[in-house]
Amino acid sequence: MKPFFFSIFISLFFCKSLNASELTLSQFLKRAQTHDPEYQILAKEKEKIVTTIDEGLPNSGVTLAVDAEKGLGDPAQSGGSSILTGSLSKDIVTTGTSLKVSHTDTSRPDRDEDVTEVRIEQDLFKNLLGRDTRLKKVALQETSKALYLELDEKTEDYLQKVISVYLDFKKAQLDTQLAESALKATIRLENNIRARFRRSVATKTDIDKAHLQVLLRQEELIEKKRTLSTYIEDIRKVTQLAETNLNASTTDSTLQKIYQKFNSHKFETEQARLYLAYEIRESVAEKEALLADRELHPELNLIAGYDIDQSRRFSSTVSRSEAILGLNLQFPISDSVSQALRKKAILERAQAQLDKKLALEKVAQSRNNATQSVLSSEKLTALTEKKVLIAKRVYEDETKRYNFGKLDLDILINLEKNLLNYQYQHQSEKIQYSKAIIEWLNVHDLLLEQSTNM
């Protein structure tokens, strides 16, 4: 194939990206939040948190109970008996009070009983006036807060992960575009050498060397396109997009503006979301240990009530009512389960204290590492950009020298390789810089908030 037509063929073959559908980072994140199952799981976890308090407290609703029994007695002895009991009960969990109203109709061969009972029970010692239940409610409220904070941490980690997928896709796309440009430049060099050969300025070996570079650039472009297609599939998996030809938008300046907006702020380690979650967990563990200790206390309840008896025995009717007052005492003897739970709660309290200490160290270290990573990436990005500019000037100047026959072709080819490598390196550092900013936003609890501005 003649060089001119070969050049046209390559240009047409590798220009499909011009018709690609643009996918901005903002669009990518919105689709991820609506289509990615991993994000949907996080959303479901958040919905479940609202049930934490009601799930952990005793039932405070009204309970209706009906009990019916039928005795199967000997018909020769006037048949059997029947008992029908209905009751309504309710626990006022915040005061440790139990209310119950019941009515029982009993029919026996020798009597009919009609009894109504009203009972009020009040905790006086173990759960004094609902003290433990209220403490449990506070612990559950704190647990809910910790769960929300921990879920925000998970969500930010998720955002960092999917944004990294997008940035990897962006890098693969830039590498592919650079490989296309490199191939076109190599083809132009080969055409130039063929023209010089026709003027007897270049040799057949020079043509072979140039053509070999074309083949190498073709091979490189195929590999870059293969990598790009892999990342496109990752993007489609997250977004559920049907398009296979996607184009990432530029995100560098946006991320850098977000970082510059916050990098001068003073961030207190003790106010970090992760640390606050562990601090709340420690508070919950202290309350749970106290509640577990109180489970070994005796239970003393005051009972007050009123009974109405409208029974009939034989041929006489009993109409009686009386007030009830009493105590109920339950003393645990060798309660191995409560003892084990108490030991477990004490150990969990100690572990929560250690976890909080480690969380403080982890936050401080991760924030310091993220800041250093951003600064290093910023410097390397600027450095590699300078390398590209210098290498490009050198290559252009040496190309002119080659055209005047003052430079060997091998040197020019090596210069072209160096320029291409510097360009790949610069693109890689730019993407790494963006990833470093994303990580910095994550460890400073800003990624979730700022993700809508990307």
Q: Which amino acid is it at 332?
A: P
Residue 262: its pLDDT value, please? 92
Residue 151: its pLDDT value, please? 97
Residue 6: its pLDDT value, please? 44
Residue 75: its pLDDT value, please? 60
Domains and CATH numbers, the chain: 23-55+132-292+337-453 (1.20.1600.10), 67-123+297-331 (no CATH)
CB atoms within 10 A of CB 79: 14
Question: Tokens at residue 196, please?
Answer: 């010089």
Residue 76: its pLDDT value, please? 59
User: In whole angstroms, what is the distance from residue 402 CA to residue 251 CA?
Assistant: 39
What phi and psi values does residue 49 have, to the nearest 5 degrees?
Answer: -60, -30
For residue 23, the Cα-to-chain-centroid distance in whole angstroms is 23
Cβ-proximal residues to 418 (8 Å cutoff; 6+ apart), any chain: 391, 395
What residue ranges of the chain have pLDDT lower than 70? Answer: 1-20, 73-79, 314-315
User: In whole angstroms, what is the distance from residue 127 CA to residue 135 CA?
Assistant: 10
What would the DSSP string read from start to end of 33-69? HHH-HHHHHHHHHHHHHTTHHHHHSPP-SEEEEEEEE
Q: Which amino acid is it at 167?
A: L
User: In whole angstroms, what is the distance from residue 361 CA to residue 359 CA?
Assistant: 5
The interaxial angle of helices 409-443 and 131-198, nearest 10 deg, is 170
What's the pTM value of the predicted model, to 2 decimals? 0.84
Q: Which amino acid is it at 294?
A: R
Residue 74: its pLDDT value, please? 62
State how far the alpha carbon of 285 is from the alpha carbons of 136, 141, 159, in Å: 11, 13, 30
Residue 165: its pLDDT value, please? 96
